[in-house]
Every structure is written in structure tokens, then in C-alpha cells.
Amino acid sequence: MKAIGYTTKGAIDRADAFLDLEVDKPTATGHDILVKVAAVSINPVDTKVRQNRDATPEAPVVLGWDASGVVAAVGPDVTLFQVGDEVYYAGDITRAGSNSEFQLVDERIVGVKPKSLSFAESAALPLTTITAYEAFFDRLGIDRDGANKGDSILIIGAGGGVGSIGIQLAKAAGLTVIATASRPETEAWVRELGADHVINHREDMVAQTRALGMQQVDHIAIFNDMRHWDTAVELIRPQGGIVSIDDTHLPMEMAGMKTKAASLHWEFMFARAMHQTDDMIEQHNLLNYVADEIDAGRIRTTLDTVLSPINAENMREAHRLIEKGTAKGKVVVEGFE
């Protein structure tokens, strides 16, 4: 089968940053389904792995942990899907990725593709949806169905992929959303997605938040980087919670968290699959929930840019767009030739 991979890790500006490859088509066993891939979405995790995970000509790395497609075969233990089903999923970072014509993925982390969306529109969603959903409802303990209606949440880095779906999930749960954006186009984007207030994360966020009449906020999600840690600690209310998805090599002063009895949570959407947790199927359940919300018109795709077909040239361009750090919404590469 065709696949897009690399044999030497490193920068994206090299001609061999990605290569068009031929690799063996895998066989579904156990709880795995074999998906014929229709579209893939690119995330910052793809760029980080490409820069750091070793590869060789004998053992190329195939990235991609965000996809939509059609079930082509099922393992003997599969009960949730059958051949011909349209699906969307993020997969498992410890396994071969979705930048290939066919991919194996455990059925328990796969959702039924939204019926009202195209494959490209659907591929834009799984990784960021799982991340935002788990960050809010599993980590921070916000009630999905509205028991925390009226609470405030500050989403730092709201214009990116995770923030774009996060705004919508927070609004659906009844929260007042303060979104950060630093450019006119991303400010317009987050307002379009439902943000109640927009502030600039390149300026004094404490002053801007308090100018809105909010001395503190109930919940904070850091969806870009940890340079904003001190701001988050200042703004979180006593006994509130902060969730982050970012790697950090920066010092994180904890004295302010202690005196507020505030909590810090880490979200890593691959954790359930990596560690084969007993509740892996919750990713299947949440993806189905969001698909239903999309088909009901309450949540929309976060797709912004589509490149076609799926090949090395377009994969290099997609990674370049992500590494610029200015993308709003998601970048998707669609269709093998």
C-alpha cells in the first residue's frame, strides 16, 4: 500500500522530509479494525514526532493520528463496527499512523463518522475533540450536560485546533467562554465559534480579564504554551482548576496554587490507548456523542485548509503550515491518488 513517511528525522524544509513509500498492508486481528483512509489531519504532535523520532530507510516512520475513512476489515474480537462503516478517530501514537492507504486501529478508540460531514471535515476533528473533551469533562470535572452552567472558563490559545472545538464544547455545557487570540483573523474565528469574550494573549491578560468585570475565573485551559503559567495562577479562583496540554521546560511556581488550593491537570489524549486503560472505550463514546451533536447542528467542524492528494509534497506543506504557528482551525490532507 502507499504511505507517506520519513527515513531521517529533522527539519521540514528538506526535500526528503517526507517520502512517498510502498509498505506492507497490515492485517486486522483482535480488537483492531483495518480502515481505508480517506483524509488525515495534521497536528503539532506530528511535527514534534517528525523532529525527534528516529527513523532509517529500513524502518521508516509513518505519522498521522487524526483520520477518517471506511472500515475495510475487522479482527475476530470486533463488536462495534463492520466492513463498510464510515469512521473517524485519532489512533495510538505508539503505532503506525494514518498517513497510509490502510491503518490498523483499536475499535474502542474509534467513533462513527458524522453523517452530515465530508471525510475531510470529519478528519479535522478527532484528536482535538478528544483532547478538549477530556480536558474539560474528565480532567477539570466540568459537567457536560450543564450542571456548571454560568461558570467561566478562560481558553488560552483558543484559535488553534483544540481551542476551536473547545469553545464549542464549553458553550454546549453552558459556560461563559473567554477566548484568547492575537490576530484579527483568529479573533473573528473564535467569535464565530461562540466565544463570549476575546482577549489578546500577547498583552496583559490579567488586566484584560478584570476589565471584563471578572476578578478571577472558574476554569482555565492552556492550549498553546506554558509561558502563560503565572497569568493562569493569578486568574484562577480559589479551588479552581487549570488544565494544560503542553510540554514544559519552564519553571512552574506552585506557591500561588497551594494557597488557593487550586488544582493542575495534564491532558494527553493518547494516554488511554498507550496504557490500555480499562476505560479506553470512553473515546469511542465521546466521539459518537460529538458526531451526534454535529449532526444535530450544535457543533461544527473546525476545518480550515484542505490539501489534496495525500502525498509527500502536500504533507510537507501541511507540516510547514502547522509549524508557522498561525493556523486557525485545522489543516487536512485528503485522498490518495
User: How confident is the model at residue 84, as a pLDDT?
Assistant: 98
CA 186 – CA 181 distance, rounded (Å): 6
Give the burial class of 59: count Cβ atoms within 10 A of its Cβ; 0-12 exposed, 13-18 middle, 19 or more buried: exposed
User: How confident is the model at residue 248, as a pLDDT?
Assistant: 79
What is the reported pTM? 0.95
User: Can you tell me whether residue 83 is helix, strand or coil?
Assistant: coil
User: How confident is the model at residue 247, as a pLDDT?
Assistant: 78
Is there a contact between 34 and 73 (Cβ–Cβ < 8 Å)?
yes
Is there a contact between 11 and 24 (Cβ–Cβ < 8 Å)?
no
CA distances from 319 to 3, 47, 176, 314 (A): 16, 6, 33, 9
Is there a contact between 278 and 104 (Cβ–Cβ < 8 Å)?
no
Is there a contact between 60 and 6 (Cβ–Cβ < 8 Å)?
yes
Sign of CA dihedral 199, 200, 206, 208: negative
pLDDT by 10-residue block (mean), the chain, 337 residues? 96 95 97 98 95 95 97 98 98 96 98 98 97 98 97 96 96 98 94 97 97 98 93 98 90 95 97 96 98 96 95 97 83 95
User: How confident is the model at residue 206, as a pLDDT?
Assistant: 98
User: How confident is the model at residue 328, as a pLDDT?
Assistant: 76
User: How confident is the model at residue 117, as a pLDDT?
Assistant: 98
User: How confident is the model at residue 246, as a pLDDT?
Assistant: 87
User: How confident is the model at residue 325, as a pLDDT?
Assistant: 77
Q: Which three cell numbers stand for residue 317?
A: 506543506
User: How confident is the model at residue 249, as a pLDDT?
Assistant: 82
